Structure 1
């Protein structure tokens, strides 16, 4: 149905794709896998009309040569792409965002038919199982709900022949993901080709018919899923065996309390929260999406002000007024779960994004930032974290997801924070990068840094954390000692904490 032959793409200094040939079939879910920077995003942008391949590359749609000159042409021909970074209009309604490219008007007056707009939008909200009013402003939705709106927008196209889904389950609960898979199975039966991109290999093994794997811009294999297992997929992706060390062992100084939170409350965001973080500790925050972990983190960093309670840092009551104040006075940093919106300035350079947290430290008496010091700091972090970029002046928005995440953490390492809140640090990055970040977080704790690790990835949090606090409905509902690092034992305890709290609050 869709065939790519000898597709290459060259950017200044980088060959992003190198002679890639893949044949996609109708009525199948075809997984496209690879590490960050392997070429997946570039290939998707060629299929969807954002980029043109080099001259030797050919695309065939339904056995006919097909030259895609724009995203509009791709959409017109039934090639629909869901991208995680697709921007929504925050002040517009859910219905407007879903229907923005197909707004119906009343025949007689020519004005927008709002009743029809909301009716059609609701049909797609019901399809994906999102229970919000079509008239709700996007700004009122949480991250997971926005993700579902993006999915609804992709599915609302009336002429879908090829549906490309790039990390569609990021931010979704398991229940929401399973509901999405049921929709995909239905679309597959209707003859639609689904190209599915995900770093969650368990999902790929569950729903894919065939798999193509890219590595360093080349397609290293295309095969039926029945001929592959998780280990084989990882080996093709990273070119070696996965590091399966079960645990990371670090030393926690229980005599040194670096952060104490007492009876912290913020209406609708945190209720009577109490916990202690020790020097060198990795403290896990686990819970379902929307359980209140990120909301608490944003209170701790000064993004939101709390109504009552106390925050004590290094034995002294803290007066947290802003994010800048939290960093400059209390040496506390926050690695955002939404790196594109909150963690990075995508339109600015690698150098600026890394050095921004230390500008006040490297400025002269007139407040002018030293370019030489800025360069030195940025280059050091690029080398330390093995960031793949063309240079200090490359725009961060042009980097792969894994390298963007490295930039996000580089700025906090540059600031030499003592406490780092890492919010979903491995969402949307590949197996190799996940290994890297696990080791990085562990090494920071060995250096005496204290880490709050917010993660919805249960294996990851059990692998890394010393203790795990369980969140539900904006409260801490339990604490699990994770010293055994035994997955079966700890996962049962976590699940029991969440389910018991729900029973109590029925």
Structure 2
């Protein structure tokens, strides 16, 4: 039985036809994949379905009856739950308050805290999450926040659940847990829409698929059992997609480290961390959520207190006070995992986003930044990174996720960093753009940039890293030289994560 249907849906923005007569059908007791490259229209379609945008053509049907939603609240009330790619938790609220935001329990006109803890706890238990409902969401990791979003969507007991990149920032173990929940929802007769760039997950849990390209549905409702991965990729990109092949790249093992940690401990809980990155080397940090990888990077940038040990840059012991100090005095850049909240100024032009790190260099008397000098710098990196924009004046918030990530990277390259920390570089990015990012990171290292790479995508880690440093519980478990053989490396990494005690390299 078809629970929800979109027929010939059109959505037009100024100068852009974002959706061009798209068809989508979601069946009860089925998991349906929605695939396409960045900018293909996936998120726009979800926003139409959930009432954030009104369609300019076509119609939506729920249980066979035409519906029109004027807001996400109306959509949720009709039984459509959604977990957006961008997190929508309210920072000043607790986990429980966020989960039950649409139906906060009250008693005698007041919010019932006891009922919030009990009800939110039920949905957290459904996801097997050991998180206190009274905990502020500001204390959550990116992965924990994503799982709380899923609990929030489930709490409205939706008959139709839309999951937009739900596994982008969670570990394989957490993804396996989510898949068990999705399977339960499917067996309960609900319809699930699953949006992901991770095709191995799509083929694992989805039954049918719709593929969007340039705002149009090039395949609607095809059975995944009848398709291969290559066929799906070809539908997404419009032509045969060739597997990524990276040229040989040598690292000078005799060169001294550009960045070195000696016995570093932090206020976050890291203990006795040793780490070294040489010029032209990509060192990967891998571990499960909670291992402390991103927190270690932030401590290097002065965003958390280092309580013991020593950080050395180009052989000299340093104390980095903040991000500005890291950039201007030590040539360290940081591409954050949270590009929408920390990496890009969404309401500012692309030009300003890229040039912000070099204003000090461009500034003339009285603080004036010449527009011509800024434009020349911006044009260089737009071309080098292949950033797709209408003009440098285009707001960054209107770009696709992949292009936003390129803008986030461009500002650090413009600042001529010598050490670059890259945190989850390809979260929510399509297969072709991901290949372009991998090639770019590889080329940057080939040109002498020292890169500390943090990623939860193990294939990405095995593709790029020269060495893999495995972390658990804010400590280094061990270090592995990377031979780029995925089967062998993945087994070694997983064994190291679950090994008792600390294993030497």
TM value normalised by structure 1:
0.95
Check the 8 A contact 1:21/1:219 in 2, yes or no. Answer: yes
SS in 2 for 1:21: strand
Deviations 1:310-368 (CA, angstroms, capped at 9, x unpaired): 11111222231110000001111001111112111222221211111111111113222
Check the 8 A contact 1:262/1:309 in 2, yes or no. Answer: yes
Which residue of the partner structure matches residue 117 of structure 1? Answer: 116
Mapped partners of 1:103, 1:253: distance in 2: 59
Higher mean Cα deviation, 386-395 or 494-503? 494-503
Mapped partners of 2:279, 2:298: distance in 1: 21
Shift of 1:23: 2.5
Mapped partners of 1:492, 1:95: distance in 2: 37
Judged with a 3 Å threshold, the aligned counterparts in structure 2 of structure 1 residues 136 and 205 are, in CA distance, closer, same or farther, namely: same
Structure 2: 5+ residue stretches without partners: none
SS in 1 for 2:91: coil
Matched, 1:33 2:32: no
Which residue of the partner structure matches residue 453 of structure 1? Answer: 453
Mapped partners of 1:189, 1:447: distance in 2: 52
Deviations 1:358-401 (CA, angstroms, capped at 9, x unpaired): 11111113222222222222232222222222322222222211
Mapped partners of 2:24, 2:473: distance in 1: 46
Matched, 1:369 2:369: yes
Which residue of the partner structure matches residue 151 of structure 1? Answer: 150
Check the 8 A contact 2:9/2:55 in 1, yes or no. Answer: yes
Mapped partners of 1:242, 1:138: distance in 2: 40
Matched, 1:332 2:335: no
Shift of 1:502: 5.5
TM value normalised by structure 2:
0.95
Shift of 1:248: 4.6
Higher mean Cα deviation, 238-247 or 142-151? 238-247
Check the 8 A contact 1:246/1:463 in 2, yes or no. Answer: no
Which residue of the partner structure matches residue 188 of structure 1? Answer: 186
Structure 1: 5+ residue stretches without partners: none
Mapped partners of 1:291, 1:162: distance in 2: 34
Superposition pairs of residues 308-319 of structure 1, within 5 angstroms: 308-319=308-319
Check the 8 A contact 1:419/1:451 in 2, yes or no. Answer: yes
Which residue of the partner structure matches residue 237 of structure 1? Answer: 236
Which residue of the partner structure matches residue 207 of structure 1? Answer: 205
Mapped partners of 1:269, 1:359: distance in 2: 36
Check the 8 A contact 1:470/1:476 in 2, yes or no. Answer: yes
Judged with a 3 Å threshold, the aligned counterparts in structure 2 of structure 1 residues 187 and 493 are, in CA distance, closer, same or farther, namely: closer
Check the 8 A contact 1:128/1:180 in 2, yes or no. Answer: yes
SS in 1 for 2:22: strand
